[in-house]
């Protein structure tokens, strides 16, 4: 299929022509590449350099196979490059990788990570295309990181929180009654993770869940979700283990909140929480709207 047709359909889906520039990626993508001396502007499309969403790299005009992932991590890119043919397209949620550490071995990490030059060259030389959509996918109710979780929990959206971009990254949803323990088991199964962070209160019955993909360690938004009636709070990272004073202070703040909240706090990893939409709503959208099969690429390690 023609690349421009796919890009135009994705841009319409996420309303990129009216969406504001992605402030987070506009800050972090240039910084991490410039720190290692990479000419990121020479790699991305001019329009992407303005809004930091949409077609990131234009390859050949005809797309053979479409792939999808949360991050363009080294592991994901290597898996893609091992099978991709010229003209193939990779759609990601983030345009750069992020490593937030792991509760599995209490690893602390560096945060945002650039794509290394060798992989950038491989993408360019083989005529491959990259498309990325960050904030507009976080706030979308049709193909969205939080919306996909609510759908998987058989929930009904009743409110929103966490202002982000031109919408809200957090959703509050009513769900069929479930215990905290059963909700944790469901999260482990749903996101394919062996380790789930659990803090806060344990409840016999949960009927309202707050959901936010990715980084969910802002205690003021946790408190708002609780005021909106949430009895559980499901996110990617309860604790962002980024080395430095900022990361350590955020970690302590969440621990203090967890000691007083009546919610069950559940973290399933940044990558896993935001990959679910790729395997569900985005894959369905490609099939229904374009008649294409999207092939998801999972991270080999969700916590990292």
Look at residue 244 and give its three-state secondary structure: coil
Contact partners, residue 34, CB within 8 Å, separation at least 6: 40
Asked if residue 208 lies in contact with residue 230, where contact means CB atoms within 8 angstroms, the answer is yes
Q: Which H or E run includes 167?
A: strand 167-178
Asked if residue 242 lies in contact with residue 235, where contact means CB atoms within 8 angstroms, the answer is no
Cross-strand bridge partners of residue 171: 160, 211
Six token digits for residue 97: 């990788």
* Cβ neighbour number for residue 159 with a 10 Å cutoff: 17
Look at residue 193 and give its three-state secondary structure: coil
Phi, psi of 229 (to 5 degrees): 100, 5
| Annotated binding-site residue? 274 | yes
Asked if residue 10 lies in contact with residue 91, where contact means CB atoms within 8 angstroms, the answer is yes
* CA separation, residue 13 to residues 16, 33, 50, 88 (Å): 8, 29, 19, 20
Q: How many CA atoms lie within 13 A of 216 on its CB side?
A: 36
| Annotated binding-site residue? 34 | no
How far is residue 106's CA from residue 205's CA, in Å, rounded to a whole number? 31
Q: Give the residue ranges of the annotated binding site for a divalent metal cation.
A: 93-94, 138, 270, 274
């Amino acid at each position: 299929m023609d690349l421009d047709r796919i890009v135009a359909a994705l841009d319409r889906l996420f309303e990129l022509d009216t969406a504001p520039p992605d402030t987070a990626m506009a800050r972090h993508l240039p910084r991490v590449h410039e720190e290692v001396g990479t000419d990121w502007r020479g790699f991305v499309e001019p329009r992407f350099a303005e809004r930091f969403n949409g077609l990131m790299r234009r390859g050949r005009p005809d797309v053979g196979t479409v792939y999808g992932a949360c991050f363009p991590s080294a592991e994901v890119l290597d898996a893609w490059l091992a099978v991709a043919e010229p003209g193939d397209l990779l759609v990601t949620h983030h345009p750069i990788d992020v490593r937030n550490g792991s509760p599995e071995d209490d690893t602390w990490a560096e945060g945002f990570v650039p794509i290394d030059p060798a992989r950038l060259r491989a993408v360019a030389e083989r005529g491959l295309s990259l498309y990325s959509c960050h904030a507009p996918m976080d706030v979308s109710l049709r193909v969205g990181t939080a919306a996909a979780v609510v759908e998987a929990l058989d929930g009904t959206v009743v409110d929103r929180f966490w202002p982000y971009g031109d919408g809200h990254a957090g959703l509050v949803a009513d769900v069929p009654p479930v215990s905290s323990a059963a909700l944790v088991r469901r999260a482990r199964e749903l996101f394919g993770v062996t380790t789930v962070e659990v803090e806060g209160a344990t409840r016999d019955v949960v009927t309202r869940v707050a959901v936010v993909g990715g980084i969910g360690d802002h205690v003021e938004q946790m408190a708002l979700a609780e005021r909106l009636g949430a009895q559980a709070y499901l996110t990617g990272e309860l604790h962002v283990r980024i080395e430095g004073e900022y990361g350590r202070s955020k970690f302590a703040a969440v621990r203090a909140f967890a000691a007083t909240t009546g919610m069950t706090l559940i973290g399933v990893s940044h990558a896993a929480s935001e990959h679910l939409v790729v395997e569900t709503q985005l894959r369905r959208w490609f099939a229904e709207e374009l008649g294409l099969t999207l092939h998801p690429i999972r991270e080999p390690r969700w916590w990292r």
